[in-house]
Amino acid sequence: MEPWYTPYPVIAAALLLASVAPCLGDDVDSANKPRPTAYALCGNDGARLPACKDGSFDRLGQEVDAAVKAALAKAQPTTIPILMRDQFWFREMVGAVIDDATGGGDDQPEVQKRTSDNVVATLHQRTATLRAIAQGFGRTGVAGRWANAFGTVEITAVEHDGYRIVLSGKASYGGSADNLQQTCNADAVVHLGANGWLSGKVAGRRDPSSAQTPALEAALLKIRRQGDSLRVLAGDEVLNKDNDADFNCRGTNQLTGNYFAIGTTAAANGHSAPFVAPTFDCAHPATESDEEICADPGLAANDVKLNEAWKRLLPRLDAATRRLLTEDQRAWAKSQPERYLSMLHPAWAKQTNFVHWTALAHGNLAQLQRERIAMLEGYDENRRGYEGEWRSYNANLSVMREKNGKLRVDGNKWFEGDYKGGCDYEFKGTADGDVFHPDDKSKNPDTMERDHGTLIVNRADDEWAKRRLNSDSKPDTDAGEGKCKRSQSISSTARVFPVRPSSGHGATAR
């Protein structure tokens, strides 16, 4: 297999973290690299906190570091990056508490003391949790208590080979206002389903503020062992506005994630499942999306399926198309971790930008995999002409023939990290053999042309876009109409590949 799946650095990661927790000063994409915790809680305005003045933060930070080190020494190689990630997120939470309390610059002694006491209690609790995690490695099955940086899971066996799951998540960081606190308590009974997952519906809930509110439709909860951690998926893979209500929560997102057994190493009775390995070494994931794939059995299985589809497809293609598709696959591999991070720390969620949107990020990564698998498995190398579905790592196109014989083209092109910078395709024309004639007769019309087994949309726009803004930032009237949002200098040129229609080609939120 050609090495398209080469890990790439996440260029925007450091800038992204700076907007979330600037006091920490770390690269997000190096979360899996062992290093001291380095809380840096007393720098700048944080120095006003009582726990900084009496040295409590320094002492407690050292205790947390020691507990992390002890837990990592007992963890399996594939568990170490996931536990390191959990600790990295915990550090971001603590930093966000300090930022929220001291960012305004006003002296508010009562706020400073409350924040200081809160962080001290949080650090004490984290040390206790890590020490319990160190004792929990080696436990089998799913029954027992589990914990991570965001909450706890309690699992007990019930009749008919089921399990009752009680989840409690309280991310009490960021905004101090009650409506910004991300809290959740939910429970469900699960039974063995497909691929080793235990799944079930969350117990029915009612809005406590209204006795007349009808019972909400139950949300789905799934759990499965993945090595020495418990993987929890809360709600639909692509979260919708009803998930929080279904779980009776303010923020279901952080229930999704990996939890670690806490308590003694005595074996627990109950269902277990083998570790699902992707195509790369989970002891050394290169990016945070790699970490997420290793952390989730479903994503790991998708990674294997995607690679198998790739190996089956390549021999069917001619040399030129194989080269072009390999370039597109490498671009997909590069953009995939960028997408995961942008969903994990969504800058557009201004009022809760301190929250780790773990379920949203997972759902987006899973959809990226499904889309790519559908593209590779449904590749239509025998297509002639223009009609049909076309797709690439950053564009899709649908070409349909109308009753009057004209071709109608719809689609879009997107850019990672710039959801307003995309381009929309909506045009019509006729085809004379392999030559497409657009109805639009302007200086820069939408165009299509076949190139080997691929289709190029708006080939000339790459050059037009470079000329569209002069050095004085005024539009160049000779460069044709811009076709993309936000900036006239964005090019709508795209190369797309023929695919058969599939449910896996659903639109992804960019």
What pLDDT score does 214 carry? 37
**pLDDT of res. 486:** 77
- Token pair 């009974």 in the structure block, residue: 189
Per residue in 141-195, pLDDT (tens digit) is 999 999 999 899 999 999 988 999 998 887 655 444 444 456 777 888 999 988 8
In angstroms, the Cα distances linking 43 to 23, 354, 367 are 8, 19, 41
Asked if the structure places residue 2 within a domain, the reply is no
Residue 4 belongs to a domain: no
Q: Using alpha carbons, select from 273, 271, 337 the residue that is nearest to residue 303.
A: 337
Q: What is the pLDDT of residue 249?
A: 59
Together in a domain, 401 and 459: yes
Which pLDDT belongs to residue 33? 45
Reported as a single tens digit per residue, the pLDDT across 272-292 is 789 999 999 999 999 999 999
**What global pTM score does this model have?**
0.85
Report the range of poorest mean pLDDT among 56-65, 176-185, 301-310, 397-406. 176-185
Q: Are residues 305 and 251 in the same domain?
A: no
438 shares a domain with 405: yes
Alpha-carbon span 287 to 361, nearest angstrom: 14
**With bands split at pLDDT 50, 70 and 90, how would you rate the model's confidence at 497?**
very high
Map residue 334 onto helix, strand or coil.
Answer: helix
Cα 314 to Cα 1, 226, 279, 381, distances in angstroms: 9, 32, 18, 11
* Residue 415 pLDDT grade (very low, low, confident, very high; cuts 50, 70, 90): confident
* 432 within domain boundaries: yes
Which of these three, 214, 245, 275, is where a domain ends?
Answer: 275
Q: What mean pLDDT is predicted for residues 463-467?
A: 82
Same-domain status, 402 and 456 = yes
The pLDDT, as a whole number, for residue 396 is 95
pLDDT at 8 over 50: no
pLDDT tens for 40-72 read 567 655 566 777 777 788 888 889 999 999 999
Q: Compute the CA torsion angle 60, 62, 67, 73 (nearest 10 deg).
A: 170
Predicted pLDDT of residue 39: 55
Residues 333 and 405 grouped into a single domain: no
Statement: residue 303 has pLDDT above 70:
yes
Of 18-27, 132-141, 356-365, the range with the lowest mean pLDDT is 18-27
- Reading the block at residue 413, the tokens are 């092109």
Mean pLDDT value across residues 351-376: 85
pLDDT grade, residue 34 (50/70/90)?
A: very low
DSSP secondary structure letters along 40-82: -TTSGGGGGSHHHHTTHHHHHHHHHHHHHHHHHHHS-TTTHHH
Amino acid identity at 77: P
**Residue 454 structure tokens:** 């691929």
Q: Is the pLDDT of residue 380 over 80?
A: yes
| Higher per-residue confidence, 88 vs 469 | 88
Q: Tell me, what's the pLDDT at 355?
A: 72
CB atoms within 10 A of CB 466: 12
Q: Are residues 175 and 271 in the same domain?
A: yes
∠ Cα 208 214 216 (to 5°) = 80
Query: Is residue 26 situated within a structural domain?
Result: no
Overall number of domains in the chain = 4
Range of the domain at 219: 139-275
Point out the domain boundary residue: 137, 158, 186: 137
Looking at residue 489, its pLDDT comes to 80
HEC readout, 101-136? HHCCCCCCHHHHHHHHHHHHHHHHHHHHHHHHHHHH
Check residue 342 and give its pLDDT: 81
- Which of 99, 91, 109 is closest to 43 using CA atoms? 99
Q: What are residue 437's phi and psi, to 5 degrees?
A: -115, 105
- Residue 319 in tokens: 């040399």
Measured distance CA(500)–CA(370) in Å, rounded: 14
The confidence score (pLDDT) of residue 377 equals 97
- For the cut 80, the answer to whether the pLDDT of residue 304 exceeds it is yes
Are 260 and 306 found together in one domain? Answer: no
Average pLDDT in the chain? 79
User: Mean pLDDT, to the nearest integer, of 392-411?
Assistant: 96
Angle between helices 56-74 and 80-102 (to 10 degrees): 160
Amino acid 130 reads L
Residue 13 lies in a domain: no
pLDDT the model gives residue 156: 93
Looking at the structure, tell me whether residues 77 and 145 fall in a common domain: no
pLDDT for 350 equals: 54
N- to C-terminal Cα separation, the chain: 30
Do 339 and 349 sit in the same domain of this protein?
A: yes
For residue 20, is it within any domain? no
Confirm whether 434 is domain-assigned: yes
Are residue 121 and residue 102 in the same domain, yes or no? yes
Alpha helices in 219-318 (DSSP H): 243-246, 288-295, 297-313
Q: Which residue has the higher pLDDT, 65 or 13?
A: 65
Residues 262, 163 share a domain? yes
Q: What is the mean pLDDT of residues 462-483?
A: 72
Which whole-number Å values give the CA distances from 416 to 340, 353, 451, 455, 461, in the listed order?
10, 18, 26, 22, 20
Q: Which of 108-122, 235-249, 345-359, 476-490 has the lowest mean pLDDT?
A: 235-249
Asked if residue 453 is part of any domain, the answer here is yes
Q: Out of 137, 168, 197, pick the residue that ends a domain.
A: 137
- pLDDT, residue 252, reads 67
- Contact assessment for residue 235 and residue 252, using Cβ atoms and an 8 Å cutoff: yes
Question: What percentage of residues in the chain have a pLDDT greater than 70?
Answer: 73
267 with 283, same domain? no
The rounded percent of the chain whose pLDDT value lies above 90 is 46
CA distance 22 to 102: 13
The pLDDT tens digits of the residues spanning 189-245 come to 999 988 899 999 887 544 444 444 333 355 788 999 999 999 999 875 544 444 444
Answer whether residue 473 shows pLDDT above 80.
no
Query: What's the confidence (pLDDT) of residue 375?
Result: 96
Q: Which residue has the higher pLDDT, 305 or 114?
A: 305
- What integer is the mean pLDDT of 445-464? 93
Q: What band does 26 get if pLDDT is binned at 50, 70 and 90?
A: very low
